[in-house]
Every structure is written in structure tokens, then in C-alpha cells.
Amino acid sequence: MHLVGELSAVLATALFIFALYWMNDPKTARRGVIAGVVGMTVAVLATWIQPEIIHHAWIVGAIALGFVVGVPLSRVPLTAVPQRTALSHAFGGLAAGLVGTAEYFLWRGGSATAEMTHFRMSALAAEVILGFLTFTGSLMAAGKLQEVRWIPQRPVTYPGQNFVNIGVLAIAVGLGVAVAVHPGAPWAQQAFLVIAALALIFGVLLIIPIGGADMPTVISILNAYAGLSAVAMGFVLDSKLLVTAGALDGSSGLILSIIMCRAMNRSFTNVLFGAFGKAQPALAAGEQKEWKQETVEGAAQLLEQARNVVIIPGYGMAVAQAQHKVRELYDALTKRGIIVKFAIHPVAGRMPGHMNVLLAEANIPYSALVEMDEINPEMPQTDVALVLGANDVVNPAARYNKGTPIYGMPIIDADKAKTVLAVKRSKKPGFAGIDNELYVQDNTWMLFGDAKAVLSDLVKQFGSGGIH
């Protein structure tokens, strides 16, 4: 039975690696998802059949409860996938934290079979700290993404905040070191509970100063933390499978975080401590410029006369669930021989790949999706740039205004197109809290309204023969 478990662990690990590899390409992404599901099923069954595993009835009950929670979570709309992803990280962190806590107190009670060495106790302390901070941090991130009323969407900052955050973490780590050195000391149990409490508090403190614009990076960082907590849990439980699976999870989250930070031209420390999204003072009255508004009929005529159109999707498209209307507009334009491309910014939306997922749901050809670095050289030759709810990722101020929180962030060069049509619900700024200079340019025309409604009206113009 032990040999079967070892071979199953190798098979599950291989499937996890292939899952990550296949998900690099949209053509093999479905295969990657299947490989990941099969790998996790093999891992669970291989663990379950081990002779040291007892209380099978409790395990069946836990799995059943997992299905009760998991099935509804799998059916959320695509616009809610970012917060659902954050919740998944929360559950993973909570599991790691609870397992570590249970393992320690079982050992203190004499029920644990493994010896609590200094190394294992160090891994256990790391598991609890990473697990519990991931739990509360992910819940806060999910709340911000869901726009829960009692969780502020803007960054919450106060004097000495970084000192407080680092202090809380340092105390938790210091106590973890003390417990690792003296795991059986009389005071160690109380210290362990304090470690868990500080980790829970730190998770909240870590997320409240971070604005919604940084959520894609935050989600990937939390993914890395969850993976690292799983690695530590693998060392505690002497599970090679947990170590390898957690390492894959943690490293992929770290790599993704690096990609996200590069896309915003920011560092990890700047994301975690920079309060990106802090509201900026409004421009003085003398500096305000006029927003020029266009009618749907006029916008349809501009699109009809274009030879090439670049559509730039953003969170506004996601909120309006307008991706299917985007597909209808895409079909209407391409039938007229107009070349249509989609410019994808790495941090558009609220999670990595958010726009790719939404457009894939609407069956937009993947060949029409172009990354920021590839589309920018084409923007000066673009007849019409259609901006759908994107804000900070097309703001020209990022190039030169050092006083803005988005300064230095690479953007899609929508402002360089011959004509810009910007669809926006209101004149409110984006998550970075600053006005978008693109909207007051001479070549920009605004289409105010819900993205789905505006696109629906545009499609009707093409379908009704109303364009002359």
C-alpha cells in the first residue's frame, strides 16, 4: 500500500506540472484543467488509502461538506471569478493554519506519532503564520472585489502604518522562533495561540492599505503565500506530495506576481506598502477641460468608416457583463471588412487574465487578442480605439506625471489613435483615484452609459441599416 501511495504521489505531481505547462497556451488550456483535476483526485485518493489514515467516516463527511460549498462557488458568473479565486485562497490558508494548529496540540497531548523536532516545529510555525494571514488577507481581498459595504474600497492608511504591520509580523515570527527552540515549554501553548492571532490580524492589516487597482497582483501574491503554507505543511506531515504541490503553487504565484508588478512598473514592496489607489486632489478649476460627448449614431458612423479598430476592454466591460455584446460588435465590423483587434493590458480587470477569460467566454478568436507590447506600435495607425470601461491602463498621465500613483506604469497607447471612443458609466475616476487625461483630448469622444447598453445600441445601428 505504501508503494501505491508513492507511485500515486509521483503521478499526481507529474499531472500538476503538465497542468501548468498546458495552461500556458489557450489551445491546450482545457487539457491543463483536466490534468489538474485528475492530479488532485489521485492525490486525495492516494492519501486516503494509506493505512495510518483513520476515522474515514469523518473524512467522507468533510468531503461532502466541501462539495456543498464548492459546487455553488463553481457556478458564479465570470465577473465574480476574482473574488471567488480570493475565497479559494482563503480556504487553502485556513486549512493549512488549522492543520498546523491541530498537529501542534496533538503533539502536546501525546497523540501525534511524529517527533516534534526543531526543524518540524519551525515549519509548523511558518505554516500557521502563512496560512492564517492568507486566510484573513484573502477574505479582505474578496470583500474589496465584491465591494462589500463595510470594507473600504480605497486604501486605508494612517501614520506609522508600515511600522505597525512590520511590528505585528516581527512579533509573530519571534514567538515562532521561541516556540521552535522550546516546543515543550509550559508557556509555548499560549505563545502558539498568540502567533495564530497575530497572523490573522496581520492578514487584515496587510490588505487594508491596498487599493482595488492592485488586486490582480495581490491575488497572485496571496496565491504564493498559500503555496508556501502548503510546503511547510508538507514538511510537518512528512508528505512529499504536499511539498511539491505547494512549491508549484507558490512558485507560479510568485512568477505571476513578478509579471504583474512589471506590468505596473512597481516593486513588491511598493504594492504591499505603497497604498496604490489613494485618492488624489482634484485639479484646480482653471485646469479642468471639457469632455466631448458623442451620440451612438455618430460613433457607429466613425466605426463604419474605419479600416481598423482596436477594442480596449476593462473592468467596466466586466461589471456590465458586456462581453457577448462585444462579440456581436466584432462580428458586425468584421463582416464589413474592418480589421478588429483587442488590446489586452496585463492588469486590466481584477485578476490576472481577467479580460482573456471574459472574451474567451464570448468566443472571441484568440488570434484577435493582442498583448500591450505588441499592439502599442500599431496604435498611431489605428483609425478608432474603442475603450470599454478601461481607465488607469490607458491614462497618458502614467508617462510623465510624477505626482500620480500610476506614474511609470506601462499603458496601452490609446491616446495615439486617430480617434478614441471611450465608453464610461460616469465621470468618476478609476481605482487609482485620478482623472484620466485621455478623456479630455481633442481626438476623444465619450459615450456615457453602461457598456452593455451602449454596445447593444451600437450593434442595432449596424443591424438596422441606420448607418449611411
CB 415 within 8 A of CB 394: yes
Counting DSSP H helices and E strands in the chain, the numbers are 17, 6
C-alpha cell at 398: 502614467
Catalytic residue (choose from 392, 413, 415, 435)? 392
CB 121 within 8 A of CB 187: no
Half-sphere exposure of 213 (CA within 13 A, CB side): 28
CB 90 within 8 A of CB 142: yes
Angle between helices 2-22 and 240-263 (to 10 degrees): 10
Q: Locate cell 487584515: which residue?
A: 204
Specify the long-range contacts of residues 433-437, CB closer than 8 Å, at least 24 apart. 433/154, 433/211, 433/277, 433/278, 433/279, 433/280, 433/405, 434/280, 434/392, 434/395, 434/397, 434/404, 434/405, 434/406, 435/282, 435/283, 436/391, 436/392, 436/394, 436/395, 436/397, 437/395, 437/396, 437/397
Euclidean distance between CA atoms 181 and 415, whole angstroms: 60
CB 320 within 8 A of CB 452: yes
Euclidean distance between CA atoms 464 and 452, whole angstroms: 18
- The bridge status of strand 369-371 relative to strand 384-388 is unpaired
Rg (CA), the chain: 25
Residue 448 φ then ψ, to 5°: -85, 140
The DSSP symbol for 185 reads S
Euclidean distance between CA atoms 295 and 447, whole angstroms: 7
Helix (H) or strand (E) holding 447: strand 444-448
| Residue 415 falls in the annotated catalytic set | no
369-371, strands of its sheet edge to edge: 369-371, 339-344, 308-313, 384-388, 419-424, 444-448
C-alpha cell at 371: 498583448
Residue 40 φ then ψ, to 5°: -65, -40
Euclidean distance between CA atoms 241 and 5, whole angstroms: 10
| Residues involved in catalysis | 392
